[in-house]
Amino acid sequence: MVKTKKTQQDKTKVPEPSNSKAKPKPVKETPAHADKDTKWSDAGFNESELTLSQLKNMITTLATEVYDNKKEELKAEVDEDVEARLYDQSNDVEETVDELKNEVESLKEENKSLKEEYLKLKRRTERLEFEVSNKDKKIRELKIHADAVEQQLYDKDLQLVGVPEIPSGDDVESDLKTVIKLVQDKMNINIKPTDVENIHRQGKRKSDKTRDIVIRFRKTAMRNQIFTNRKKTATHSDPKRNIYVNDKLTEYRRDLLYAARQLVKHKKIMAAWSQQGNILIRKTEEDSVIHVTCHDQLAELTQEPDETEEPMEDTDIDSD
């Protein structure tokens, strides 16, 4: 009976086709904890046969891995920190830039306001300078006019320099006799005491200085005649013994004549003198005579010297 049952099982067993594919064998999964072992095995390490050199290599490899991992982690942290700081700084910079922009705008407005104020002040200053210039011009013209009126008061006067003075007292009669004798002897002009209206010494008496004589004639003709012959009283070889006859000038014209003579001294012009109260100069021999009325006119002709000197006394002869 057993044999029959086996035969029946053999009969019922269907043979597999010859061309059918064989089923793949199931892959045996490797546990996760075996990765390291496999890794070390692949690297040629065997736990049962580790040598000191292999152990060093394993430690070095492990340290390298740990270092690389930590390096990446630190890099990520640093990048994140740097990015955060850059972001914060960027915000700070933007805020600072905004503040600076506001300040710049404020400064622009302030600058614009200052420019407008400056232009107003400049226009006002120019207007005031123009007004002052006009006033200075008018004042100068008034001074020249007033000086001309004052000079007319001296149209009969002469100033004599170097006439000996008596030791004491104001002997007007003695001075008058001396002047009349000087005019008669040196100029050969017939002059009488009645031709003189007034005569006096100028300034206070000084022991070391001879005061000038101011003489006023009754007629301009007599005055002019004596002035024309003035060089005849200055022919002595000793300049200290000469007597000089000059115009009687206002203080303004004395200063102007002194300034002109300083130019002569510094060889800026050829000659400077006064004639009938007028200040005249000649720049060169070829130039014509120029009538100077103010210091500005004299300065325009040539620069005045830088040296500052005490006013020189009118002890020289005026040139023609």
The 3-class secondary structure across 133-147, one letter per residue, is: HHHHHHHHHHHHHHH
Say what the pLDDT of residue 219 is. Answer: 95
> Which of 314, 219, 306 lies closest to 274, judged by CA?
314
Rg, C-alpha atoms of the chain: 63
> Which phi-psi region, left, alpha or beta, contains residue 200 (left: φ > 0; alpha: ψ -120 to 50)?
beta
Q: CA-to-CA distance for 184 and 314, rounded, in angstroms? A: 23
Q: How far does CA 42 lie from the centroid of its chain?
A: 88
Spatial neighbors of 214 by CB under 8 A, at least 6 apart, are 157, 158, 159, 160, 199, 200, 201, 202, 248
Say what the pLDDT of residue 196 is. Answer: 95
* 161 DSSP β-pair partners: 244
Q: CA-to-CA distance for 159 and 244, rounded, in angstroms? A: 8
Torsion angle of C-alpha atoms 155, 156, 158, 163, degrees rounded to 10: -170
Say what the pLDDT of residue 3 is. Answer: 46
Cα separations in angstroms, 277 against 162, 198, 220, 256, 260: 20, 19, 13, 11, 14
> Which of 293, 258, 255, 249 lies closest to 154, judged by CA?
249
Cα separations in angstroms, 253 against 82, 275, 300: 89, 11, 17
Say what the pLDDT of residue 301 is. Answer: 82
Q: What is the mean pLDDT of each run of 10 residues along the chain (320 residues)?
A: 46 48 49 51 56 81 82 79 78 85 89 91 91 89 92 95 80 90 93 94 85 94 94 84 92 95 93 94 92 90 58 51
The answer to whether 270 and 250 are in contact (CB under 8 A) is no
The answer to whether 178 and 199 are in contact (CB under 8 A) is no
CA atoms within 13 A of residue 202's CA, in its CB half-sphere: 14
Spatial neighbors of 57 by CB under 8 A, at least 6 apart, are 45
Locus of tokens 């008058």: 176
Say what the pLDDT of residue 35 is. Answer: 53
Q: Report the predicted TM-score, pTM, of the whole model to 2 decimal places.
A: 0.56
Torsions phi, psi for 222 (to 5 deg): -65, -45
Q: Retrieve residue 209's tokens.
A: 């200085």
Say what the pLDDT of residue 14 is. Answer: 47
Residue type, 3: K
* 274 DSSP β-pair partners: 279
In which order are the strands placed within the sheet that holds 196-201? Answer: 196-201, 213-217, 157-161, 244-247
